Amino acid sequence: MSFRARITIVLAVIVALATVAVSLAALGTTRRQLYAELDQSLAQLARVGELAPNLDADNGRGPRIPPRLRLDDPVVAQVHQADGSVRVVAGTDQAAVPDRVLDRARSRGPTAFATEVDGVPYRGLARPLGSDAVLVVAADASEQARVLRGLLARLTLIGLLVAGGAALAGWFAAGRLVAPLTRLTAAAEQVSATGDLDVDVRTDEPDEAGRLSRALDEMLAALAASQAAQQQLVDDAGHELRTPITSILSNAEVLKRHPDLDAETRAAIADDVIAESQELTRLVNSLVDLAGVTGAAEEPSTVDLAELAQAAVRRLPADQRDRVVVTGQAQATLRAAQVQRAVVNLLTNAAKFDPSGGPIEVAVAGASGSVEISVRDHGPGFAPDDLPHVFARFYRSDTARGTPGSGLGLAIVKDVAQRNGGGVTAANHPEGGGIVRMSLPTG
């Protein structure tokens, strides 16, 4: 069942229940008003009959009819004795009276009840007469019953019309309400069927549907950007992987075609294969690290950044650890494993581009709402033409082409910073060397 149909049914049911409640209240009020006048006349009749001196005489005379009852109204008056005998003192037919009504009249006084005489509805009143007898007077209530039946029929018809009108109005109103959801559903189904994320679903409506459309539009844009980035990564990785693989295959073919190569040439080819294999291994490891950053579902935790930096230092080769000096103190809530990987990459990059063995300075500082981790080396620094590209994937400067590396280290640092809500910058220090700053929110 569609959402529109459910809204329509719910609205129709609510209106129908409200109509039923109002109708029942109106019917009950009308019934009480109709029978109140009749009960009042029956009470007058019972009092007259009780005071009539000839009520117990067997002369066929009965109590006087009160003026509020028409003279042509069929009226029954009868006396019920304690022994169960009944004497009709007015009217030609006897009205059936339940025993519980008689008992209630004897113990509690006047009691109204409904009965029938020859299939005609009557309204009766039982009143104690003396110590044991009960006087019962009853009048034809056909007119009241007819009025109530007519009122019930009209209320039923009105209720059906109102419920039908509510259902019709609800159908059109629900159509307007679910129209944005229908459009969003169609867009989602189109994306699912075609994989095309270029679908415009944004609206400027201020309601919840408008907010949902804008959120979905932003989600599709983010997915499109992620898809483009993944495709770019695959293309770049394929290009970078092709070079060492081609070199390894070429060397293998040379060895196969020339089995009689001298030992020196074979050793040079083997060294080249080993170097390319190591380069391929580093590239694959970097890709695995990048995939771990982009795909990890690590939960943020509050950490001491100085301790995190010291842990990153311990992951460096043993001959590089003494070069690193960590200063400062700050705490932040972030994805600790990702940030530690980024700091390791910064330290490795600093050590690689400062082969002199100079100090590597790691400074941790906290400011209002953010923290900063900076890593400075004392090498030649960044070439001005390289600064805009140092965080691009697989980018390698001219000076770095002769050194081992995949061109993904600083790209991973940038991804980590962005995924933790921060950013990263690179610059040359005024006193020499390069410095990379990673800023992160505190929580």
> pLDDT digits over 15-29, tens only?
888 888 888 898 888
Considering only 16-30, 251-265, 405-419, which range has the smallest mean pLDDT? 405-419
Confidence class for position 402, pLDDT limits 50, 70, 90:
low
Instruction: Compute the Cα dihedral for 292, 294, 297, 302 and give only its sign.
Output: positive
User: Phi and psi at residue 366, in whole multiples of 5°?
Assistant: -120, 140
Confidence class for position 66, pLDDT limits 50, 70, 90:
very low
Confidence class for position 291, pLDDT limits 50, 70, 90:
low
Statement: residue 416 has pLDDT above 70:
yes
Residues 6 or more apart whose Cβ sits within 8 Å of residue 207: none
Share of the chain above pLDDT 70, in %: 83
Give me the mean pLDDT over the 388-410 stretch.
Answer: 69
Confidence class for position 427, pLDDT limits 50, 70, 90:
very high
Residue 428 β-bridge partners: 434
Confidence class for position 398, pLDDT limits 50, 70, 90:
low
- For the segment 197-206, what is each residue's pLDDT rounded down to a tens digit? 777 776 767 7
Confidence class for position 242, pLDDT limits 50, 70, 90:
confident
Statement: residue 289 has pLDDT above 90:
no
Confidence class for position 63, pLDDT limits 50, 70, 90:
very low
Statement: residue 58 has pLDDT above 50:
no
Q: Which residues of 142-157 are buried (b: 16+ CB within 10 A; e: fewer)?
A: eebbeebeebbeebee
Query: 167: closest CA among 341, 299, 15, 275?
Result: 15
What is the structure's pLDDT at 304?
A: 92
Better-scored residue on pLDDT, 54 or 301? 301
- With tokens 């400027």, the residue in question is 204
Per mean pLDDT, which of 275-284, 355-364, 401-410 is the most reliable? 355-364
- For the segment 163-198, what is each residue's pLDDT rounded down to a tens digit? 888 888 888 877 777 777 777 777 777 777 777 777
What is the structure's pLDDT at 238?
A: 72
- Quote the strand ranges of 218-355, DSSP E: 301-304, 324-328, 331-334
Better-scored residue on pLDDT, 294 or 171? 171
What is the structure's pLDDT at 371?
A: 92
Domains and CATH numbers, the chain: 3-147 (3.30.450), 197-295 (1.10.287.130), 297-441 (3.30.565.10)
Give me the mean pLDDT over the 35-40 stretch.
Answer: 80
What is the structure's pLDDT at 239?
A: 61
- For the segment 358-382, what is each residue's pLDDT rounded down to a tens digit? 899 999 998 888 999 999 999 888 8
What is the structure's pLDDT at 324?
A: 93
Q: Supply the DSSP symbol for 65.
A: P
Q: d(Cα 195, Cα 217) in Å, to the nearest integer?
A: 15
Long-range contacts from 226-234, C-beta under 8 angstroms, 24+ separation? 227/197, 232/393, 233/290, 233/393
Q: d(Cα 296, Cα 72) in Å, to the nearest integer?
A: 96
| Contact of 255 with 248, CB cutoff 8 Å | no
Better-scored residue on pLDDT, 134 or 406? 134
Confidence class for position 57, pLDDT limits 50, 70, 90:
very low
Statement: residue 315 has pLDDT above 60:
yes
What is the structure's pLDDT at 406?
A: 60
Q: d(Cα 104, Cα 413) in Å, to the nearest integer?
A: 93
Report residue 68 as tokens: 């509020």
Torsion of CA 380, 382, 385, 386, to 10 degrees: 130
Residues in the chain: 443
Statement: residue 99 has pLDDT above 60:
yes
Confidence class for position 424, pLDDT limits 50, 70, 90:
very high
- For the segment 130-149, what is each residue's pLDDT rounded down to a tens digit? 767 888 888 888 888 888 88
Statement: residue 55 has pLDDT above 60:
no
Query: 339: closest CA among 308, 302, 370?
Result: 308
Give me the mean pLDDT over the 111-121 stretch.
Answer: 83
